[in-house]
Chain A
Amino acid sequence: MMWSGNRRVRVQKAAEPWPENATLYQQLKGEQILLSDNAASLAVQAFLQMCNLPIKVVCRANAEYMSPSGKVPFIHVGNQVVSELGPIVQFVKAKGHSLSDGLDEVQKAEMKAYMELVNNMLLTAELYLQWCDEATVGEITHARYGSPYPWPLNHILAYQKQWEVKRKMKAIGWGNKTLDQVLEDVDQCCQALSQRLGTQPYFFNKQPTELDALVFGHLYTILTTQLTNDELSEKVKNYSNLLAFCRRIEQHYFEDRGKGSSSIRSS
């Protein structure tokens, strides 16, 4: 059923059908996308795979500007555009698909708390590494971020983004942190995740939830992204149950669907 082109008033129904042409937009995979955005995008893809909802990944250089909140990834479903994992989870829930319905109140609280931990520590550390560590900024970030644009726009956009991120870091108190302290925080976060996961297959035992998707997105990206040095991925590699967890999700949700190891069909 084609929904495109119809300006329909959206009615809240219990379970609306998920259209075939749902699309996820992110930046260009090969040359442009950065570590943190890649992690977020992978988390959303993993979540949708876990819900069994088909999604097509489309790479656009200006994905960040197309997004309603300025953050990638965002999905275009029917005539709705939703960005970021939190709102996407709620949107999918309104359509009648949810991974966390089986959890009781205390478990839901725990799940939300751990998702905030990942956002608070892992995501912020990724942003710090990308934009505040001079070596990485010079070698990787600046070049990648502005790559689709001609000179001087590429430099201007990269500097503007860097200024924005530095401002945010200062506001939350990370402005004065050294790289070692940030890596220390990453280690603490991974340790907490590892202890919570224990020997279970997923964080809430048998069934994956959005927390699993988020953790997978970040850890997998950290493990597979080439940076100036390996310190960040080494921190994650210290925890064998996290490695096994990533592999398990990769095999179960990405390879089994015939899509190959970390590449999703992209146009």
Chain B
Amino acid sequence: MAAPLELSCWGGGWGLPSVHSESLVVMAYAKFSGAPLKVSVVDNTWRGSRGDVPILTTEDNIVSQPAKILNFLRKQKYNADYELSAKQGADTLAYIALLEEKLLPAVLHTFWVESDNYFTVTKPWFASRIPFPLSLILPGRMSKGALNRIILTRGEPPLYHLREVEAQIYRDAKECLNLLSNRLGTSQFFFGDSPSTLDAYVFGFLAPLYKVRFPKVQLQEHLKQLSNLCRFCDDILNSYFRLSVGGISPAGQEMVDANLQKLTQLVNKESNLIEKMDDNLRQSPQLPPRKLPTLKLTPAEEESNSLQRLSP
């Protein structure tokens, strides 16, 4: 249980800790169950090249695929489903199957197959995070994998055409979103007041769809009309990923640090000036010694000079 758990996953953007659905599912589950997960982003390393991400590494094991990772975490006693009844556990499995069958094809299509979205958003984002020359190959491969998955599971043999299935998968996805919205109703999470595996999965699938800015947005528009699902995503982002809300790419974090540094310098400068003024005050013979300069006016020339020097 005390073994360090390291998760390699794709990085974040648009206010999300990760843009990749499966990585997000694992990260959310870890937050819900309190698992101490060290997240290492695979941007610009060679490990993500196998497309197996997210991967959980411990001292002895390497686990891939969200379902297996979640099982592993549960075995390590990080269980977010502790309070669920047997029926709720069964419902969780059923709803996850619903997400994978009905929603996932359309999400994959929006990200990887729809040409406007793919070429303007997805491909540049992933290509910028993969080292050359893999950046030329890997996004294309991921796109083909997504297309394959859609037409093999939805298309009709022996001639698989994307056109026929596009309308159907979006219809299915919208229906699935409506069903999720009906099921969630006004409660905060799907089962009571504490989040569970199902919440992690729903969040993982919906959050990228909700937050990433796409040119072709029909599914996103539909999602935005379902206000309780949007509220659900925002709640989880704010409560569990608060530090990352401002955009968690390492560059963003550095900028925050730089700002903090600048502020510290400014404060130091101010306190230096204040000390100088204090010295001036002490040296001036007509004045009683004072600890800190105040805004009170004194007849001393030097003091008014110092005051002038202080003003920015």
Listed in ascending order, the chain A residues whose CB lies under 8 Å from chain B are: 69-70, 105-106, 108-110, 112-114, 116-117, 119-121, 164, 167-168, 171-173, 188-189, 191-193, 195-196, 198
Contacts and interface: CB of A to CB of B under 8 A. Distances in A.
Given A108-B179, A109-B180, A167-B152, A120 B100 contact: yes
B167 interface: no
B149 interface: yes
Given A70-B157, A117-B94, 16 more contacts: A106-B185, A108-B182, A110-B94, A113-B91, A113-B97, A116-B97, A117-B97, A120-B97, A121-B97, A164-B158, A167-B152, A171-B152, A188-B93, A192-B90, A193-B90, A195-B90
B153 A192 contact: no
B97 A198 contact: no
What range describes how many residues of B lie at the interface? 20 to 34
Contact of A164 (B87, B98, B157, B182): B157
Interface string B90-121: 11011101101110000000000000000000
A121 B156 CA distance: 20
A172 B94 CA distance: 17
B156 A70 contact: yes
B128 interface: no
B98 A69 contact: no
Contacts of A117: 93-94, 97-98
Contacts of A105: 182
Interface string B167-199: 000000000000110110100000000000000
Interface string B256-293: 00000000000000000000000000000000000000
Contact of A191 (B90, B148, B156): B90
Interface string B54-89: 000000000001000000000000000000001101
Given A168-B153, A171-B148, A173-B65, A116 B90 contact: no
A40 B45 CA distance: 46
A193 B93 CA distance: 10
- The A interface is mostly helix, strand or loop, or mixed, namely helix
A258 to B, nearest CB: 35
A170 to B, nearest CB: 9
Q: Please give me the 8 A-B residue pairs with the lowest Cβ-Cβ distance, nearest first.
A: A192-B90, A113-B94, A109-B179, A117-B97, A120-B97, A113-B98, A195-B90, A117-B94
B189 to A, nearest CB: 15
Contacts of A167: 148, 152
Contacts of A121: 97
Contacts of A69: 156
Interface centre among B153, B157, B180 (most CB of A within 10 A): B157
Nearest to B146: A171
Contacts of A108: 179, 182
8 contacts: A70-B156, A106-B185, A108-B179, A171-B148, A188-B93, A191-B90, A192-B89, A196-B94
A116 B89 CA distance: 16
Given A109-B182, A196-B87, A172 B149 contact: yes
Nearest to B180: A109
Nearest to A67: B156
Contacts of B183: 106, 109-110
B94 A116 contact: yes
Contacts of A116: 94, 97-98, 100-102
B153 A112 contact: no
Interface centre among A105, A116, A198 (most CB of B within 10 A): A116
A209 B1 CA distance: 45
A226 B298 CA distance: 105
A196 B90 contact: yes
B194 to A, nearest CB: 20
Contacts of A171: 145, 148-149, 152-153
A242 to B, nearest CB: 12
A113 B95 contact: yes
A119 to B, nearest CB: 7
Nearest to A64: B157
Contacts of B179: 108-109, 112-113
Nearest to A86: B172
A194 to B, nearest CB: 8
Contacts of A196: 87, 90-91, 94
Nearest to A167: B152
A22 to B, nearest CB: 23
Interface string B234-276: 0000000000000000000000000000000000000000000
A155 B293 CA distance: 98
Contacts of A110: 91, 94, 183
Given A106-B182, A109-B182, A120 B90 contact: no
A38 B176 CA distance: 28
Nearest to A198: B87
Interface centre among B86, B94, B157, B183 (most CB of A within 10 A): B94
B93 A112 contact: no
Contacts of B156: 69-70
A114 B281 CA distance: 81
Nearest to B68: A181
Nearest to A194: B90
Contact of A168 (B100, B152, B158): B152
